[in-house]
Structure 1
Amino acid sequence: MRRGDFDYFLPDELIAQRPPVRRGTSRLLHLPPEGGVVDLSFQDFPALLRPDDVLILNDTRVVPARLRGTKPTGGQVEILLERVLDGSRILAQVHASNPLRIGVPLALPGGVQAHYLGRQGELFEMELTLAANESPLAYFERHGTLPLPPYIERTADAQDAARYQTVFARTPGAVAAPTAGLHFDTAMLERCRERGASIAYVTLHVGAGTFQPVRVEALAEHRMHAERVSVNAETCEAIARARSRGGRVLAVGTTVVRSLEAAASASSQTAPSAPGEPARLAPFHGDTRLFITPGFRFQVVDALLTNFHLPQSTLLMLVCAFGGHAAVMQAYRHAVQRRYRFFSYGDAMFLERMTNQTASGLSFADPT
Structure 2
Amino acid sequence: MKLSHFDFNLPEELLAEYPSENRDESRLMVLNRKENTIEHKQFKDLIDYFDEKDVMVLNNTKVFPARLFGNKEKTGARIEVFLLRELNSETRLWDVLVDPARKIRIGNKLYFGDDETLVAEVIDNTTSRGRTLRFLYDGSYEEFRKKLNDLGETPLPKYIKREVEPEDMDRYQTIYAKNEGAVAAPTAGLHFSKHLLKRLEIKGIDFAEVTLHVGLGTFSPVEVEDLSKHKMDSEEAEIQTEATQIVNKAIKEKRRICAVGTTVMRTLESSVSSENTLNEFRGWTNKFIFPPHDFSIANCMITNFHTPKSTLLMMVSAFAGHDLMKRAYDEAVKEKYKFYSYGDAMLII
How far, CA to CA, are the matches of 2:319 and 2:234 in structure 1? Answer: 21
Cα distance, 1:189 vs. partner? Answer: 0.6
> What fraction of aligned residue pairs are identical, expressed as a percent?
40
Please give the per-residue CA displacement for 1:113-149, whole angstroms capped at 9, x wherever unaligned. 2122223445322211133522564332121011211
In structure 1, the residue matched to 2:140 is 133
Counterpart code for 1:90? W
1:337 and 2:334 correspond:
yes
Counterpart code for 1:311? P
In structure 2, the residue matched to 1:201 is 209
Q: In the TM superposition, what are the counterparts of 1:292-331 in structure 2 within 5 Å?
A: 292-331=289-328
In structure 1, the residue matched to 2:124 is 118
How far, CA to CA, are the matches of 2:252 and 2:277 in structure 1? Answer: 14
Cα distance, 1:281 vs. partner? Answer: 2.4
From 230, 237, 250, the equivalent of 1:242 is 250
Question: Structure 1: 5+ residue runs without aligned partners?
Answer: 353-368
How far, CA to CA, are the matches of 1:98 and 1:7 in structure 2? Answer: 31
In structure 2, the residue matched to 1:59 is 60
Q: What number of residue pairs does the alignment pair up?
A: 341
In structure 2, the residue matched to 1:31 is 31
Q: In the TM superposition, what are the counterparts of 1:69-84 in structure 2 within 5 Å?
A: 69-72=70-73, 73-84=75-86
Cα distance, 1:192 vs. partner? Answer: 1.2
CA contact (8 A) 1:205 1:227 kept: yes
Counterpart code for 1:45? L
| Root-mean-square deviation over aligned CA pairs | 1.6
From 192, 210, 223, the equivalent of 2:218 is 210
Q: In the TM superposition, what are the counterparts of 1:1-368 in structure 2 within 5 Å?
A: 1-33=1-33, 34-72=35-73, 73-87=75-89, 88-96=92-100, 98-109=102-113, 110-121=116-127, 122-134=129-141, 137-264=145-272, 268=273, 273=274, 278-352=275-349
CA contact (8 A) 1:174 1:207 kept: yes
The TM-score normalised by the length of structure 2 is: 0.93
How far, CA to CA, are the matches of 2:276 and 2:329 in structure 1? Answer: 35
Please give the per-residue CA displacement for 1:275-320, whole angstroms capped at 9, x wherever unaligned. xxx2542211111111100012211111100000011000000111
How far, CA to CA, are the matches of 2:263 and 2:200 in structure 1? Answer: 20
CA contact (8 A) 2:276 2:296 kept: no
**Which segments of structure 1 move beyond 3 Å, counting only runs of 4 or more?**
119-122, 135-139
CA contact (8 A) 1:148 1:176 kept: yes
Please give the per-residue CA displacement for 1:31-86, whole angstroms capped at 9, x wherever unaligned. 11220211111121001112211101111111111111222232221101111122
